[in-house]
Amino acid sequence: MAADENLRDPKHVPGGYRCAVVTAITVILGFSFLFLRSWAFELPGEWTVSGALAALLLLVSIVCQLFSLWRSLQIRDEIAAEYAVTLRWFLASIVLLLISLVTAALSYSNLLPF
């Protein structure tokens, strides 16, 4: 009965939503760490400005992902408004990750002038 009440209460997030967002954050975080390892430590050659920019954007994305994960593990994240803020942080980290990946790809193919 308490679960049914929680579904109807717009101020609280249903139970499975928090688990799903924690899983999504950890999957993206794992990918980000693996890409950082391969981009920053395993690729041969000299660093370029665009390569360093891609690595910096990736690091900022990782920090945002870690912050999102920390927020999602807080008890207060069961409140819908707090959960929405956590999702916005996670979305921002994904956008930064995508910008970083595009920058890295363009840098690796020497399509960026810097």
Residue ranges per domain, the chain?
2-108
Distance CA 35, CA 104 (A): 10
pLDDT of 65 higher than 90: yes
Give the pLDDT band (50/70/90) at residue 97.
Answer: very high
**Confidence tier at 11 by pLDDT (50, 70, 90):** confident
Burial label, 61 (beta-carbon count in 10 A; 0-12, 13-18, 19+): buried
Residue 1 pLDDT level (bands cut at 50, 70, 90): very low
pLDDT in tens, 81-92: 999 999 999 999
Q: Which residues of 3-24 are buried (b: 16+ CB within 10 A; e: fewer)?
A: eeeeeeeeeebeeebbeebbeb
